[in-house]
Amino acid sequence: MSLSVAASTAPLAAVTVHDLLQRVRQKSPRVHAITNAVAQNFTANVLLALGAVPSMTVAEDEVAGFAASADALLVNLGTLDASRRVAIPLAVQAARAAGHPVCLDPVFVNRSPVRCAFAGKLLADGADLVRLNAPEMEALFPDRDSVEKLIAGGTVFAVTGAEDKIESRGGDFRLMNGHALMARVTATGCAGGAVLAAFASVEPDRALAAACGLSVFNIAGEMAAARAGGPGTLVPELLDALYAMSLGDIEARLKAA
């Protein structure tokens, strides 16, 4: 299934991206990230470099409290073990009851029918923002009508690839930042989902939040790749780029429509 996304009538501006980044830095939102075991450390460090605060527990007896008191919730299905299967619905229910944005990253649902069914249930219960790639999109949605129904209900889709596409019932965006070296380091995509959750916590326009969050993360990847000697040095450079990113960096690199 192809995803057709038109350019927004108000193209993304560097000053807008920087403004949202500054709001994240000033407000220091806490993102409760139920993410996969491989991604936890990197995701926490990305959030800290960005200016946000991570929390990570999946303990059944405390996850609802953490999600309810956080500013946003990330649910990543990368390692969908027994503890996460129990924790995720509790966290989603608590976050939604508290009025906090929920970001879903349905990792590899195209590889596992069981995982795909679990993600489908989460989508039916409500997600503000869904970050996924084209194969995952096709696995979750056999037809375009099901996508349109969720969009009409307010869900925003951030479809990542060579060109990232944001689709919502309001503004849509096409984003062209990023670097191939980012795919040579595990958990970069997973950490990017946490960045989207952080931006959604400070901006009620979820499509704009997603566009700005993806742009910041992918520009940081470009800056890091320009300085790194390979995957091993990309990670510290990416964290430094997120921490130090300026309006000038965004103006020089932003590629969006």
Q: What confidence score (pLDDT) does residue 142 get? A: 87
- For residue 196, what are the CA distances in angstroms to 17, 24, 25? 12, 11, 14
- In the chain, where the domains are located: 14-253
Q: What confidence score (pLDDT) does residue 4 get? A: 36
Exposure string of 64-74, with b = 16+ CB inside 10 Å and e = fewer, is bebbbebbbbb
The yes/no answer on whether domain 14-253 falls in CATH 3.10.580.10 is no
**In sequence order, what DSSP letters do the residues of 134-202 get, joined into one string?**
HHHHHHH-SSHHHHHHHHHTT-EEEEESSSEEEE-SS--EEE----GGGGGSTTHHHHHHHHHHHHHTT
- For residue 107, what are the CA distances in angstroms to 12, 46, 134, 160? 27, 19, 11, 12
Residue ranges for the chain with pLDDT beneath 50: 1-9
Exposure string of 120-138, with b = 16+ CB inside 10 Å and e = fewer, is bebbeebbbbbbbbbebbe
Q: What would the pLDDT profile of 23-43 be if each residue is shown by its tens digit?
A: 999 999 999 999 999 999 999
Q: What confidence score (pLDDT) does residue 5 get? A: 36
Instruction: Write down the pTM of the prediction.
Output: 0.94
Backbone φ, ψ for residue 30 (5° rounding): -95, 125
Q: What confidence score (pLDDT) does residue 170 get? A: 85
Q: Which residue blocks in the chain are alpha helix, DSSP H?
A: 14-27, 40-50, 63-69, 82-97, 113-125, 134-140, 144-152, 188-200, 206-227, 231-244, 247-253
